[in-house]
Structure 1
Amino acid sequence: MQVPPPFLMLPNQLTIGRIVAIPVICLLVVIDWDWLRWLALLLYIAAAITDWLDGFLARRMHLNSALGKMLDPIADKLLVGALLVTLAWTHDLNGWDLIPAIAILMREIFIPGLREYLGGRAIDVPVTRLAKWKTTVQLVALALVMAAPMLLGLAFISHVALWLAAILTVWTGWEYLRSTWPHLAGPEL
């Protein structure tokens, strides 16, 4: 069986689709019409599902690629980061929610920078199981925040979920930093 070029591989197309959906989701949230908010939520849920589905299909179909390995975590971070900024803009995140939102953004920028630096020194920083759960909790929390204005009684749950996502995010960031510290504490080679 001939392997298609990376851009034509279904898992990579799903990842690229997730990236393309991000500005559409954010625009629909900003417009803030009820039916467009529902559409944004459905599109967001579909994008979030592709986070799991692209990896599953890549493994199942033996279509792992360097492009997919690079794009998948970028797509996750773009989806989470862009939506956090959008929800802050629309005031779906209240003042206290900005604390977990900023914590999430800081970790999601810091750890890829750490990986990039250590990758240049040929040091691999593999994704942990808890970090995969962290992403799932982030995606669920943001879905709840998006849905909260439309479903009575969901606001408190969405705030708790966002704080839980932030705690997991900071915890996994600390784990990565702690595990890589020996490579950072010495002189530059």
Structure 2
Amino acid sequence: MWTIPNIITIFRVLLIPVFVVVYFLDWRWAQELGAFIFWLAAITDWFDGYLARKLKQSSAFGAFLDPVADKLIVAAALLMVTHTYASVWITVPAIVLLMREIYVSALREWMGQNGSSATVKVSFIGKSKTMAQMLALIGLLSGLEYFMGFPIYWVTLGKILLYFSAVLSLWSMVAYTRAAWKDLSKS
């Protein structure tokens, strides 16, 4: 259980309350620091998977905890940006993303119980959605449009990527459902 990849994943889970508390502190750079902590968690997601393969330290515990850690920190970030921006234009794609995560997680669980988990394995569309979603959340959490007087438009890019990830999210949800349809329609 105490492999390097699993320790990194546990670290990511432990970052969640730190991320939330820091983001809402009454400091000048609290949101930017919160966005950095979220970025750090997103990077550790890549590292733990890479190290698990490279070091041959894949485990059942890691296979369980890694997607749970991802869903927890993304759900927290989505709730935080809906609170921060208090706009239907942010809330609707955030809800689409949350609904897709719950749906696909349940679908994968059900397919796994029926011995067909390979049918709904992570696809390129799903990975693309995750990348766009993470970048969107970093931009939205940071609140930055200017840095040291220079325009960087992270919030604007974050909004665009949030919608892009919502579209990819729906697309991947339909693709996973179509792949699983034969098993779903048996019952």
- Relative to the length of structure 1, the TM-score reads 0.89
Are 1:11 and 2:21 matched, yes or no? no
State the Cα distance separating 1:149 from its structure 2 match. Answer: 4.3
Q: How large is the Cα RMSD of the aligned pairs?
A: 1.6
Cα-to-partner distance string for 1:76-122 (whole Å, 9 max, x where unaligned): 1111111111221223x522111110000000001111111121111
**Take 2:21 and 2:145, find their aligned partners in 1: how far apart are those partners?**
17
- Number of residues of Structure 1 aligned to a counterpart in Structure 2: 180
Note if contact 2:133-2:165 (Cα within 8 Å) is conserved in structure 1: yes
| Match among 108, 114, 139 for residue 121 of structure 1 | 114
Instruction: Work out whether 1:69 is the aligned partner of 2:63.
Output: yes
Cα offset, 1:131, TM superposition: 1.2
Q: Which amino acid aligns with 2:31?
A: R
8 Å CA contact 1:30–1:90 kept in 2: the answer is no
Q: Which runs of 5+ in 1 are unaligned?
A: 1-5
Deviation at 1:161, TM superposition (A): 0.9
- 1:51 CA displacement: 0.9
Q: Who is 1:173 aligned against?
A: 173
Q: Is the 8 A contact 2:32 2:143 kept in 1?
A: no
Closer/same/farther in 2, CA of residues 156 and 38 from structure 1, 3 Å limit:
closer
Supply the distance in 1 between the matched residues of 2:26 and 2:68 (Cα, whole angstroms).
Answer: 27
* Structure 2: runs of 5 or more not aligned: none
Q: 124-133 or 108-117, which moves further after superposition?
A: 124-133
CA distance in structure 2 between the aligned counterparts of 1:25 and 1:52, rounded to whole angstroms: 18
- Checking the alignment, whether the CA contact within 8 Å between 1:142 and 1:162 is kept in structure 2 is yes
Pick aligned residue for 2:139 from 127, 144, 147: 144
Q: Distance in 1 between matches of 2:25 and 2:82?
A: 14
Percent identical among aligned pairs is 37
TM norm structure 2: 0.89
Match of 1:3 in 2: none
Amino acid at match of 1:181: W
